[in-house]
A and B are shown apart, each in its own frame.
Chain A
Amino acid sequence: MVLIYIDQADQQIKKSSLEAISYGAALAKQLGVTAEGILLGTVTDDLASLGKYGLQKLHQVADASLNHFDAKVFTQVLTEAAKAANASVLVFAHNLNGKAIAPAVAVKLHAGIVTGANSLPDTSNGFTVTKTVFSGKAFAQINIDTPIKVISINQNCFGVHLQEGACALEALSIAIPAASTKVTTTHKVEGEIPLTEANLVVSGGRGLKGPENWGIIEDLAKVLGAATACSRPVSDSDWRPHHEHVGQTGVQVAPNLYIAVGISGAIQHLAGVNRSKTIVVINKDPEAPFFKAADYGIVGDAFEVLPALTAAIQKSKA
């Protein structure tokens, strides 16, 4: 059985988990086993409708104390759940919480793990998972050599696929260990689309000259419904917050569309964005290295091109 960890925040299932369900369902089909989910805590989503992503059964530990993420507690509860359900493969989203717990759960289950998988495993001869390595500069095909396997999948690598089907619900009762951390405050940037969950990203570099000029990036992001990102020197200079820094030493993203404005395209920057499906580069220097990694480009001044582009997109959406 393939067991998919369904991650929630603020009592809502994360989009990355819907993708993990689609991936886990496809994998279960490939292996001829069932696709089941495990949810910790309580959510407001309609759980039976998770069948439309391919989930056949959902195990839920519906204890409100699990609405706060605690890596140690979640590891223990998930380990128990995986044992009780006799899972042979566990699937996580390679998101912030998945990174925190998937390897620990793997250790507890004596399972081999591949994090950051990009596609379904090849199960024709063993169990081989392809993952990105060298921060997106290469791929590795890795065999998992243990009876139980754990995979966490890169966000936006598989997509959310809808199908017909209903999901059975099963309450699971597991003793919940004492909390190991105490959350004192939570701070969310209102109305902002989380970068790692975004389908569309508009990113600005040093070419924008200063933080006061970010309005044109934000306007474009707004008409597209995109998240905003930046290059490293931009966040190092505190023009933008650290969590917007993409690249080899920042966030790695793989949206449908990445629009890079006033970014030269240094190798460390490209490493974090080159899995984007479509890359658009706007730069006034025709020799900027980023054009070599781009699908579409405009050689021009961002301060002129961006407002025009924003207006054109707005018009096309009207």
Chain B
Amino acid sequence: MKLLVCISKTPDTTSKIAFTEGNTKFDENGVQWIINPYDEWYALVRAIEMKEQDPAVTIHLVTVGEADAEPIIRKALALGGDEAIRINIQSNDSFVVASQIAAIAKEGAYDLILTGKETIDYNSACIGSMLSGLLDMPFVSLANHMVLNGNTATVKREIEGGEETCEVVLPAIVSCQKGMAEQRIPNMRGIMAARTKPLKVVEPIAVQATTSIKTYDLPPAKSGVKLVAADNVEELVRLLKEEAKAF
């Protein structure tokens, strides 16, 4: 059983979000980089759990990014992947990123490809779906539970107001979210082992970007809170109805 886990580098959740060069570039000054939480907490940890249950599972990690993505991929290896592939290109275009991963996926003939439900920086939620289009594979999105049974995965997927359980025959792609696994902290042994795990760097395939970012903006600041006394909730109801027209 071969698993491919897609790993993305994102700014830490407490990072100050600012832009430079006339609001055309994300300001990386002072930003701490982390593994995208959905990739780490859910996709990767679930893959590791599967390997713990079945030693015949191998886990490959893939990231699309330049050399500055290496600390992130080493951290992912410290948590538990077997080897990693870095595709040496930085792109904000989901199609370019997905095409790179698809090329690796085709070559590696993986049984299961896992992604996080989205990245916390661009929030595009595109990669898993695009991979299914590029590879013509079944895709189960927003999964919060998954067990393998031979070459079938039983997956719980979020639907509006609930969840459904479905069976999918591998190979397949699954995007992972909360519920799938519990966050882990890498231990010293893992960190030491990660230093010598293979990290292969491959050059990107040529693909044309389909989108380009023009500018960024920050949301307008709130004009300030109107406080209402705790013993005057009727006034809050009046404001919400008449001023905010909230209900």
User: Can you offer 19 A-B residue contacts whose CB atoms are under 8 A?
Assistant: A99-B142, A100-B129, A100-B139, A113-B94, A113-B211, A134-B120, A134-B123, A141-B217, A142-B211, A143-B211, A143-B212, A186-B164, A187-B165, A194-B161, A268-B14, A295-B244, A296-B228, A312-B233, A313-B237
Contact status of A139 and B219, CB under 8 A, knowing A278-B244, A297-B226, A305-B230: yes
A-B pairs, top 7 by smallest CB distance, nearest first, are A300-B230, A112-B210, A104-B133, A107-B133, A188-B162, A180-B138, A103-B129
Write the residues of chain B forming the contact surface with A, with a CB cutoff of 8 angstroms. 11, 13-14, 17, 19, 37-38, 41, 93-95, 98, 117-118, 120-127, 129-130, 132-134, 136-142, 144, 154, 158-169, 172, 178-179, 209-219, 222, 225-231, 233-234, 236-241, 244, 246-247
Please give me the residue from chain B that is nearest to A268 by CB atom: B13
Interface bin, chain A:
35 or more
A-B contact count (CB 8 A): 272
List B contacts of A71 (CB < 8 A). 129, 132, 138-141
Q: How far is the CB of B208 from chain A (nearest CB, A)?
A: 8
User: Do B211 and A145 have beta carbons less than 8 Å apart?
Assistant: yes
User: Do A296 and B122 have beta carbons less than 8 Å apart?
Assistant: no
CA A243 to CA B238, docked complex, whole Å: 31
User: Do B233 and A181 have beta carbons less than 8 Å apart?
Assistant: no
User: Do B244 and A95 have beta carbons less than 8 Å apart?
Assistant: no
List A contacts of B123 (CB < 8 A). 115-116, 131-135, 252
List B contacts of A102 (CB < 8 A). 129
Contact status of A316 and B241, CB under 8 A, knowing A186-B162, A296-B226: yes
List A contacts of B154 (CB < 8 A). 184
User: Do B13 and A141 have beta carbons less than 8 Å apart?
Assistant: no
List A contacts of B247 (CB < 8 A). 199-200, 224-225, 256-257
User: Do A181 and B138 have beta carbons less than 8 Å apart?
Assistant: yes
User: Do A181 and B167 have beta carbons less than 8 Å apart?
Assistant: yes
| B130 contact from A104, A116, A144, A295, Cβ within 8 A | A104
User: Do B211 and A184 have beta carbons less than 8 Å apart?
Assistant: no
User: Do A75 and B133 have beta carbons less than 8 Å apart?
Assistant: yes
User: Do B126 and A277 have beta carbons less than 8 Å apart?
Assistant: no
Q: Is A108 an interface residue (CB 8 A)?
A: yes
Q: How far is the CB of A281 from chain B (nearest CB, A)?
A: 7
Q: Interface segment, A19-27, A33-41, A158-166, A286-294?
A: A286-294
List A contacts of B126 (CB < 8 A). 103, 113, 115
User: Do B13 and A256 have beta carbons less than 8 Å apart?
Assistant: no
